[in-house]
Structures are given as C-alpha cells and as structure tokens.
Amino acid sequence: MRVLTVAAHPDDETLGAGGTMARLTREGHEVWVCILTDGVTARHTHVEQQQECAMRANEVIGVAHVSFCGFADEHLDAMPLIDVLTPIEKCVAEFEPHLVLTHFGQDVNQDHRVAFAATMVATRPIAASSVRRVMCYETASSTEWAPPFPGNVFSPNVFVDISSTLSIKLEAMRQYSKTFTGEVPPFPHPRSYQALDAIARRHGSAAGLAAAEPFMLVRAVEREGEPGYAA
C-alpha cells in the first residue's frame, strides 16, 4: 500500500499521523509526506532549520519522501485554491497513493482548512484515480480548539493502533523541539510530550487499545477484484 499524508505545516504530519505512518512503514508500506507551507514565516525567517527538523522527524518515522511546497505560513486562505491543490495533485499523480491522510476540514487553523479543501479536490474520485481511501486526522492544538458547533466537532470513526509506535511518534516530535522557536511547548499545552501521550492513550481507550490515532473516514472506494485499503 502507498500512503500520502498532506500537512499544512511541518509537524502537522507527525502530530496527526506520526504513529500510524511509523506503523505502516514498519509493516513495509511506502509513505510520502506533502508539506504545503514553510510553517514559520508568520513568526520568523528560519525556514531551513524548520525543514531540517522536518526531514529528521520523518526519517525517524520511516517516510520515504518529503515534498516541501514552500507556501507562506498562515497565508493559504489568501491564495487561489488551484495554486494550493496543484502540488498535491502532482504528488498524487507521481506517487499514485491508495490512502491519503489530511487535516480535518473544520480545524481552527485556516491553513488546515484550506489543506483539507485542496486535498478533497486533488483526490476526487475519477475513474483513473489510485486513491481508495481519504481520512482526516486530528491535529493537537487546532482540531480540539474549533468552536463546538454542529459540523465543527471531530468525530473519529477509525482508530489505528499505535501501541508499539507511540514512542516513535514522540521521538519524531523531539526533532521539532530543535526548531528556532521549538514546536513542543511544556505541559499542559496539547503539543507537549505528556499531552500527546495522554491523547493517544485516551483515543486508544475508546477503541479497546493501549494507544491509538483517530481518523474520520471521508471516502472509501472498494473496486471489484481489489483488496481493502484500510489502515
């Protein structure tokens, strides 16, 4: 199975699906990551340092390829959607993934919302598409901060067991602590190591697992004669 994770910023891919990607790569599946923005220019100019940390984090996870699109941080909502989805379409065309993971469409962060919208267009279910499943992940400090109105609440219906790869996810996040400002604040921030561990164990307990990453299944296409592609 080939898996593409689309992330608005460096660290989103690890926060949302780091344990799942680590499990999949360990099981022999190929994983690519597409990161849309530099993740930093709204705060500072140390873009290279951010990318280096992203490369180290994804190396820890076992990701085969990381694509940096280089869009300005916190400006995706100011861009035409076609410009945002074009590099995602390029990854889909080149990699031909079976499973695509991306942000929840109602996250409080506007870049996350645009990433979701662009991914939905780039993975539209045309006959020639390789994509069989699209799922949304939860991003700590964004998904749970959306206002609690109908349609805004993340309601997972897929739980991926990361009992054996939670430690890999946390190690990958440690690479992001080495960015210019550090992307791992102290507890009780949702991106702290203690909170990330607790979040994984809370979602695990909801599914009878020691630790889990939650997803919302957006689309599943099961073609005759093909195996299923659930994570």
63 inside domain:
yes
What's the total number of domains in the chain? 1
Q: Provide the pLDDT for residue 231.
A: 47
231 inside domain:
no
In terms of phi and psi (left: phi > 0; alpha: psi -120 to 50; beta: otherwise), the region of 3 is: beta
Phi/psi at 44 (nearest 5 deg)?
A: -160, -175
29 inside domain:
yes
Q: What is the CATH number of the domain that holds 16?
A: 3.40.50.10320
Q: Classify residue 27 as exposed, middle or buried by CB count within 10 Å of its CB (0-12, 13-18, 19+).
A: exposed
127 inside domain:
yes
**Residue span of the structural domain in which 211 resides:** 2-220
Written as tens digits, the pLDDT of the chain (231 aa) is 999 999 999 999 999 999 999 999 999 999 999 999 999 887 878 899 999 999 999 999 999 999 999 999 999 999 999 999 999 999 999 999 999 999 999 999 999 999 999 999 999 999 999 999 999 999 999 999 999 998 999 999 999 999 999 999 999 999 999 987 888 999 999 999 999 999 999 999 999 999 999 999 999 999 888 776 544
226 inside domain:
no
Model-wide pTM > 0.75: yes
Task: Supply 65's token pair.
Answer: 């390829």
Q: Provide the pLDDT for residue 228.
A: 63
Task: Supply 72's token pair.
Answer: 């300005």
Cβ(114)–Cβ(81) below 8 Å: yes
The residue whose two tokens read 């598409």 is: 129
